[in-house]
Amino acid sequence: MTFRWALAGHGHISSTFRDALAAVPGAELVAVAGRDTNRVKAYAEAHAIPKHYVSTADMLDAGGIDAVYVCTPHPAHLDAALASVGTKIPVLVEKPMTPAAGTTGQLVDAARGAGVFAMEAMWTRFLPAYLSVREWIDQGRIGDVQLLTASFGFRAELDAEHRLFSPALAGGGLLDVGVYPLALAQWLYASAPETVVATGVVGETGVDEHVVVSARYPGGLAQFGCAVRANLDTCAVVRGTEGHIEIPAFWSAQSATLHRGDTIETSSHPHRVNGFEHQIEEVMACVREGKAESDKMPLGQSLELAEVCDQIRNQLGVTYPFETQ
């Protein structure tokens, strides 16, 4: 039976989702919702999407949907996801699930209370390359894990009107790309951090432009970096007492390399499309099995990530206008 997907939002990331969805057997994109009538109509026509709506609520009321992918700007995630959960429609919410722990907790409670599947779209979590990383660690190939280093940063031109630099849109490096190394450490150590120390640069628009974080977990240490005004090395390294593992472009990992003494071993896992296909398949499998949460990216971990991001923002002094309203 065809699994019918719908889009709440149609920004840049929706194209990545669309391309991956087209390669997933049994999946179909049947509807899209947006705020502007002309824009959402043009989007639907350009990509052969059968139906379009001017609100997520209208799209949900129309029915004929098996799951919604929420890809609106960060602050709009909550309303779209709550609407989906409220109509018993499973939802995949682009990261971050919401911009703050309080609203993330609200969504988690709503999904659990309704018994409806919900998941944060932390697509890195589902990449096959990490199966090799976990296997090497579990086999003791690098000894006891001691340290993770991981950064994700790029240099964007300063534009106060762009979402990356807009406090009203929860801009900044932390929520855009910093969640990736944080989620990697959470996966590696299977825990939230015990301590977090952050420093960084808050730009003239009031968002975090470059952040460095040191954290201690029950199983080891982690050092992170994220930025929207600096190019950072995106190779993650897991160091142990007997060796280390390198993961190039870790957020989109297609390979991992084990280093132990003179031994170098690489495990390659090229994307079928762009890597999003794996999280799409996870949602479909969970929904078909009647699960309310993914075992690989449960709601509790999304809440943990939001809480850590709040800690970091508090240390940097970054707040969003909608948090004080």
> Which superfamily does 128-270 belong to?
Dihydrodipicolinate Reductase; domain 2 (3.30.360.10)
Q: Is the peptide bond before 167 cis (omega within 30 degrees of 0)?
A: no
Which structure tokens are listed for 87? 């109509």
- Please indicate, yes or no, whether the overall pTM of this predicted structure exceeds 0.85: yes
Question: Which band of pLDDT confidence, cut at 50, 70 and 90, is reported for residue 99?
Answer: very high
Amino acid symbol at 226: C
* CA angle at 181 for the pair 230 and 274, rounded to the nearest 5°: 85
pLDDT score of 308 = 98
What's the pLDDT score for residue 325?
53
**Of the candidates 37, 27, 187, the residue with the CA atom closest to the CA atom of residue 123:** 187
List the one residue out of 249, 294, 316 whose CA is nearest residue 118. Answer: 294
Quick check: 226 pLDDT over 70?
yes
User: Which single residue is written with the structure tokens 């989702």?
Assistant: 17
Beta bridge partners of 5: 29, 67
| Sequence ranges of the domains in the chain | 3-122+277-293, 128-270
| Cα–Cα distance measured from residue 9 to residue 13, given in angstroms and rounded to the nearest whole number | 9
Q: pLDDT tens digits, residue range 227-254?
A: 999 999 999 999 999 999 999 999 999 9
pLDDT at 323: 86
| Catalytic (active site) residue 51 | no
138 has a pLDDT exceeding 90: yes
**CATH homologous superfamily for the domain 3-122+277-293:** NAD(P)-binding Rossmann-like Domain (3.40.50.720)
Q: What is the mean pLDDT of residues 141-158?
A: 98
Q: 41, 51, 88, 95: which is the annotated catalytic residue?
A: 95
Average pLDDT, the chain: 97
- pLDDT score, position 134: 98
Q: What is the mean pLDDT of residues 28-57?
A: 97
